[in-house]
Amino acid sequence: MKNKYLIAIIGPTAIGKTALSIKLASHFNAEIISADSRQFFKEMRIGTAVPSVKELAQANHHFIQHKSIFDSYSVGDFEKEAIIKLDDLFSKNNVVIMVGGSGLYVDAVVKGLDHFPEVDPSIREELNSLFEKEGITSLQTQLQTLDPEYAQRVDMENSHRLIRALEICIGTGKPYSSFLSNPNKERTFKTIKVGLTADRQIVYDRINRRVDIMIDEGLLEEAKALHKHKSLNALQTVGYKELFHYFEGEWDLDFTISEIKKNTRRFAKRQFTWFKKDETTLWFDYEAALEEVLKALEERIS
């Protein structure tokens, strides 16, 4: 049997991963699975930069808007479903393309999830109560103290992730990051990671333009329709949670948009930190020619 290859397109938000994934899918006659946890939810189209109708028509995509914000859907659920889907896709083709900026979800498919010990559920209840009373800052401060390494790479604006890490820190007396080095699960395919990068200012400029485009395309209306469900985990997401402050009269619109841009830039910085850990990744400038990427892939495959 020929080797099966999963080509994972990674990099920060707004760098051009979708465009490259479609070009590679066309070249290899392959299908695409999304590992972008923000794009799973059908109610969140504009604010998560879901591929356009035209882009979706150029290749078969999976795990795009296949869940509702009201569904319980974890990274573990995604890992199981993605592996089943990959088995099916690899039965038809030796190459599958995966694309996404959610490092944890990419790693779940490539390596499998780490194992965490069971901890007293009352710890999570106490942390949830603390979050409700004092806000996210208290969680951020605790994590920086108990696990500064993980605090450097987690989305510090995602309360769900912070609470998950803190309950492990408190329940075990060990840093959450100490459990992130379990042996990889065996996979029936080989993975080649292709990373897109650019000078930081270019990335930031692209992010700022994307946010402006989202506003023009109706992000305010999309977020307003979701405001009443703001406590749902899926909506603890940059681009939505800032607008909830605006709808509640706490911020004016100009400040809100500037906060979306700032928090998205911070998110991109954390994405770089996460993805740079893997020294096997093939990195390319975001404007690299397709031929350059294909040459490197062919060398790696051969």
* Judgement on whether residues 152 and 263 belong to the same structural domain of the protein: no
16 is in an annotated binding site: yes
**DSSP-derived 3-state class of residue 290:** helix
pLDDT tens per residue, range 246-291: 999 999 999 999 999 999 999 999 899 889 989 999 999 999 999 9
- Examine the domain organization and report whether 135 and 227 are in the same domain: no
Q: What is the pLDDT of residues 88-118, one digit of tens each?
A: 999 999 999 999 989 989 999 999 988 888 8
Closest CA to 156 of 244, 232, 227, 241: 241
CA distance 113 to 54: 34
Mean pLDDT of the chain: 94
Tell me the C-alpha to C-alpha distance, in Å, between residue 146 and each of 67, 154, 237, 271.
Answer: 34, 14, 24, 22
Q: Are residues 101 and 192 in the same domain?
A: yes
**CATH number for the domain including 225?**
3.40.50.300
The verdict on whether residue 14 carries a ligand-binding annotation is yes
138 or 233, which is more confident?
Answer: 138
pLDDT > 60? residue 1: no
Q: pTM to 2 decimals? A: 0.85
Q: Domain range for residue 226?
A: 5-114+182-301
Final residue of a structural domain among 179, 195, 216 = 179
Contact 44, 207 (CB under 8 A): no
pLDDT reading at 64 higher than 70: yes
18 a known binding residue? yes
Question: Any known ligand binding at 13?
Answer: yes
What φ, ψ does residue 267 adopt, rounded to 5°?
A: -60, -45
Q: Are residues 142 and 216 in the same domain?
A: no
Same domain, residue pair 208 and 291: yes
| pLDDT, position 137 | 94
- What are the strands, taking DSSP E only, across 1-68? 5-10, 32-34, 61-62
pLDDT at 114: 82
Same domain for 174 and 28: no
Please check if 12 is assigned to a binding site: yes
Q: What percent of the chain has pLDDT over 70?
A: 98
Residue 11 assigned as binding residue: yes
Distance CA 65, CA 5 (A): 25
Residues 107 and 71 in one domain: yes
What contacts 55, CB < 8 A, 6 or more positions away? Answer: 18, 19, 22
- Residues 6+ away with beta carbon under 8 Å from 74: none
Total tally of structural domains belonging to the chain: 2
Q: What's the token pair of residue 53?
A: 């109708």
Q: Of 184 and 242, which is predicted with more confidence?
A: 242
Do 261 and 297 share a domain, yes or no? yes
| Over residues 290-295, mean pLDDT | 98
48 has pLDDT over 60: yes
Reported as a single tens digit per residue, the pLDDT across 148-192 is 999 998 888 888 889 999 999 999 999 999 888 666 788 999 999
Per-residue pLDDT of 22-47, as tens digits, reads: 999 999 999 999 999 999 999 999 99
Instruction: Establish whether 15 is an annotated binding residue.
Output: yes
**Spatial CA neighbour of 9 closest among 281, 198, 274, 204:** 281
Domain boundary among 133, 158, 179: 179
